[in-house]
């Protein structure tokens, strides 16, 4: 398998990209990184290796694993953005995506979850520093303490990408040489099945039991009638607006009743 030969400069830029990606996630969330900017970070990585189209497709693949995941209240989730950077950096061509993703992307994304947890713990140090200066009313030092938190975020994301990019190509060439055919086929199958994990997490998060029938409708529209996503969204919007109106009428009646109740006090 021909993998990409990266020079040191490219490795460093891709590593910096991993840092930029998490900064965007924790701040402006403009879509160039983190959980919901994996396509963006893929395209940027693609530009670094001179193949933006490869980056777009890899970004799309890993974004499909991350759809619906969110970092709520600090839930640690697999580092799919890092995976997108590494796979775009190493794969070299579209044909190699699923093998590179399975050997480097998925394991690194899953194994480095602990680094995220570690970073969130390490930030306690800056929290204490900030608390100390808050007691003194020192605005400058409070701001600095908060900003120092950037270190924990970026280092915890840049480290795995840097190591992965250095060691990845050799590792992949070695493993791929010994890989039986069933394993290559299996890894390709895995890459297309993994989005199911994200969907299931999302279903656990949404009121699925209550609105199960809408899930069926969405499935049917695509499975039997091959409706595009946008069409499904728009039909969903019709139902949503309808439910919103009915809900509003119900709550305004309820509001009148409560107001009447509090008036008596």
Partner 1 sequence: MSKELTKKELRDISYRWSWHRSLAWNYEKMMSLGYLTTLTPFIEKNYKGDEEGRMRAYEVHSQFFNSCPNLSNIILGVDVAIESKLGKEGLDTVSAIKNSLMGPFAGIGDALVVITNVIFGSIAVAMATEGSVIGFLLWLVWNFTLMFYLRPLLLRVGYNRGIELVTTLSDKLKNLTNSASILGLMVVGGMIASIISVKFGLINIFGSEIDLQVQVFDRIMPKIGNAMIVALCYFLLGKKRITTVKLIWIVMILTLLLAFFGILISP
What residues numbered 188-207 form the site for partner 1, per CB under 8 A?
Answer: 188-190, 192-197, 199-207
* Region from 10-18, 39-47, 155-163, 171-179 binding partner 1, contact rule CB under 8 A: 39-47
Q: Distance of CA 111 to CAs 77, 99, 178, 227, Å?
A: 10, 18, 23, 37
Quote the least distance from Cβ 185 to partner 1, whole Å.
Answer: 5
Quote the least distance from Cβ 7 to partner 1, whole Å.
Answer: 27
Assess 15 for contact with partner 1 (CB under 8 A). Answer: no
Assess 183 for contact with partner 1 (CB under 8 A). Answer: yes
Task: For residue 10, count other CB atoms closer than 10 A to its CB.
Answer: 17
The length of the chain in residues reads 265
Q: Which is nearer to partner 1, 139 or 167 (by Cβ)? A: 139
Q: How many residues lie near partner 1 (CB under 8 A)?
A: 111
One of 7, 137, 177, 265 touching partner 1 (CB under 8 A): 137
Q: Which is nearer to partner 1, 122 or 166 (by Cβ)? A: 122
Alpha-carbon gap, residue 55 to 37, rounded angstroms: 12
Q: Which is nearer to partner 1, 170 or 199 (by Cβ)? A: 199
For the segment 77-96, give every residue that binds partner 1 (CB under 8 A). 77-78
For the segment 155-174, give every residue that binds partner 1 (CB under 8 A). none
Q: Which is nearer to partner 1, 170 or 215 (by Cβ)? A: 215
For the segment 57-76, give every residue that binds partner 1 (CB under 8 A). 57, 59-61, 63-64, 67-70, 72-74
Q: Which is nearer to partner 1, 5 or 74 (by Cβ)? A: 74
Return the CA Rg of the chain. 23
Q: Which is nearer to partner 1, 1 or 106 (by Cβ)? A: 106
Taking Cα atoms as reference points, which of 110, 126, 141, 116 lies closest to residue 25? 116
Alpha-carbon gap, residue 162 to 181, rounded angstroms: 30
For the segment 223-242, give every residue that binds partner 1 (CB under 8 A). 223-224, 227-230, 232-233, 235-237, 239-241
CA angle 102, 107, 110 (to 5 degrees): 130
């Amino acid at each position: 398998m021909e993998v990409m030969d990266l020079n040191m400069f490219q490795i460093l830029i891709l590593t910096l990209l991993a840092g930029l990606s998490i900064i965007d996630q924790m701040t402006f969330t403009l879509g160039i990184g983190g959980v919901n900017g994996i396509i963006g970070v893929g395209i940027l990585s693609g530009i670094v290796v001179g193949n933006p189209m490869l980056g777009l497709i890899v970004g799309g693949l890993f974004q499909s694993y991350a759809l619906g995941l969110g970092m709520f209240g600090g839930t640690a989730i697999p580092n799919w953005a890092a995976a997108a950077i590494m796979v775009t950096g190493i794969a070299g061509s579209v044909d190699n995506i699923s093998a590179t993703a399975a050997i480097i992307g998925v394991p690194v994304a899953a194994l480095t979850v602990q680094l995220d947890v570690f970073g969130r713990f390490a930030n306690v140090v800056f929290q204490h520093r900030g608390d100390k200066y808050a007691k003194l009313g020192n605005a400058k030092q409070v701001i600095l303490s908060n900003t120092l938190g950037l270190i924990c975020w970026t280092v915890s994301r840049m480290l795995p990408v840097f190591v992965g990019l250095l060691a990845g190509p050799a590792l992949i060439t070695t493993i791929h040489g010994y890989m039986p055919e069933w394993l290559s086929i299996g890894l390709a199958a895995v890459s297309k099945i993994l989005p199911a994990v994200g969907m299931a997490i999302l279903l656990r998060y949404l009121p699925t039991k209550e609105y199960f029938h809408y899930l069926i409708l969405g499935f049917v529209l695509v499975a039997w009638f091959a409706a595009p996503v946008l069409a499904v969204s728009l039909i969903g919007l019709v139902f949503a607006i309808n439910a919103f109106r009915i809900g509003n009428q119900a709550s305004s009646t309820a509001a009148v009743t409560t107001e009447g109740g509090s008036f008596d006090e």
